[in-house]
Amino acid sequence: MRRISVFGATGSIGQNTLDLIARDPDRYDVVALTGGQNIDQLARDAIRFRADVAVTADPALLPALRDRLAGSGVEAAAGEPALIEAAQRPADWVMSAIVGAAGLRPGIEAVRQGATLALANKESLVCAGPILTAEAAAHGARILPVDSEHSAVFQALIGEDLAAVERVIITASGGAFRDWSLEDMARATVAQASAHPNWAMGQRITIDSASMFNKALEVIEAHEFFGLTPDQIEVLVHPESLVHALVGFQDGALMAHVGPPDMRHAIGFALNHPNRHPLPVERLDLAKIGQLTFRAPDEARYPALRLAREVMETGGYAGAAFNAAKEAALDAFIAEKIGFMDMSGVVEDTLAQISPDLGLQNAPMCLDRVAEIDTQARRIAAALAQKN
């Protein structure tokens, strides 16, 4: 039996992970499941999967969670310390699917106890890639990418020599507004930005797809995970979301990963690694699909892509500042304090204000400084959003 924990179990990735676990329950022993506000779902799943512990991020919800778990034998816990304690419990495989920088600490704890970390939480690599990968190496833990593009790259690299890689191309659907004018994008509502044309995902990543902040995070994620230089990573708009990434080798070959837009593929690949097992995803009928289309992204529509390059050039704590400013700008957009196209301005201005005292060249990085930079960037971004 493999001991597994799912952080962010009540979210979109978490539920897809549990869907796969439920198909083969005898293979798994569930240690911890965690969630946020949706304690009904959390309690139901914790009982169904006979978890040792269920943790809600919100301490105010502990009594209600306890109530729902009464008599089930599942322990109830709440708050960040409880999330960290749950991540310290021995497990063989841990899904990191909390949204945002809040996913970093549990992921660090999981690799510190040697677990294989299935990483959906791209923010961990953006904020503290060098720390997370060094901790994993020091404790013999494996990190497997769950982001569809990075899983695709990982799969295209199996059996290949990294030194022979010339470039990596990650695709982007273009999100909800790919065919909108800039004027219409400036007036876009939260509801419009929350509807993805191809993927069913959490609200935050869906809005980040429309602004391409999600792709910006993914470019940095690829830089950190595969050790690629910024100019080796390209973004290509591919509205069908069937080709997830391509790896270009020095002999000119391009290896593409093609599959339906269903996260259970990337999750299942990480769950079964190093083997492949049957997965309940649609088999593509390419003759029926007929054609695939590609185009270059327009950086005027997506300033996030330019900012991602600047962040990679700066290095160090710039990723933590970028992600935190992005999260605060997204909060402000969701709260209808700023417009859709104002988010990138808030992030850019935050980076400009914060960069003189980032202490970027202070390698090696440490987690406390990541947290400080995160707090500072959120404060600056929230103030800028207020002024907007």
Identify residues 246-285 at the interface with ligand NAD (CB under 6 A): 263
| Nearest distance, CB of residue 52 and Mg ion, angstroms | 31
385 binds ligand NAD (CB under 6 A): no
Residue 97 contacts which entry, ligand NAD, Mg ion, none (Cβ below 5-8 A, type-dependent): ligand NAD
| Nearest distance, CB of residue 356 and ligand NAD, angstroms | 29
H or E stretch including 2? strand 2-7
Cβ-based nearer residue to ligand NAD, 35 or 297: 35
Residue 316 contacts which entry, ligand NAD, Mg ion, none (Cβ below 5-8 A, type-dependent): none
Question: Which of 201, 222, 228, 346 contacts ligand NAD by CB under 6 A?
Answer: 201
Cα(196)–Cα(175) distance, integer angstroms: 6
- Residue at shortest CB range from ligand NAD: 11
Identify residues 242-261 at the interface with Mg ion (CB under 5 A): none
115 binds ligand NAD (CB under 6 A): no
Angle, vertex CA 356, rays to CA 355 and CA 359, nearest 5: 85
Cα(149)–Cα(170) distance, integer angstroms: 6
Q: Name, in order, each residue with C-beta under 8 angstroms of 362's C-beta and a sequence gap of 6 or more.
A: 316, 369
Residue 45 contacts which entry, ligand NAD, Mg ion, none (Cβ below 5-8 A, type-dependent): none
343 binds ligand NAD (CB under 6 A): no
Q: Please, what is the end-to-end C-alpha distance for the chain in angstroms?
A: 54
User: Which sign does the torsion angle of CA 7, 315, 297, 208 carry?
Assistant: positive
- The DSSP string of 248-287 is EETTS-EEEEE--S-THHHHHHHHHTTS------PPP-HH
Residue type, 219: V
349 binds ligand NAD (CB under 6 A): no
Radius of gyration of the chain (CA): 20
| Nearest distance, CB of residue 235 and ligand NAD, angstroms | 15
208 binds Mg ion (CB under 5 A): no
Identify residues 123-152 at the interface with Mg ion (CB under 5 A): 147-149
Cβ-based nearer residue to ligand NAD, 12 or 350: 12
For residue 117, list its beta bridge partners. 94, 143
- The encoded tokens of residue 223 equal 């830089």
User: In the 8-state DSSP scheme, what is residue 300?
Assistant: T
Cβ-based nearer residue to ligand NAD, 34 or 344: 34
Cα(73)–Cα(285) distance, integer angstroms: 46
Q: Name, in order, each residue with C-beta under 8 angstroms of 78's C-beta and a sequence gap of 6 or more.
A: 55, 56, 57, 58, 59, 61, 62, 65
Cα(267)–Cα(119) distance, integer angstroms: 9
From 84-92, 162-170, 194-202, 374-382, span contacting ligand NAD (CB under 6 A): 194-202
x/- letters, 42..81, toward ligand NAD (CB under 6 A)? ---------------x------------------------
Interacting residues toward Mg ion by CB under 5 A: 147-149
Contacting residues toward ligand NAD, per CB under 6 A: 8-14, 35-36, 57, 97-100, 102, 120-123, 147, 199, 201-202, 204-205, 263
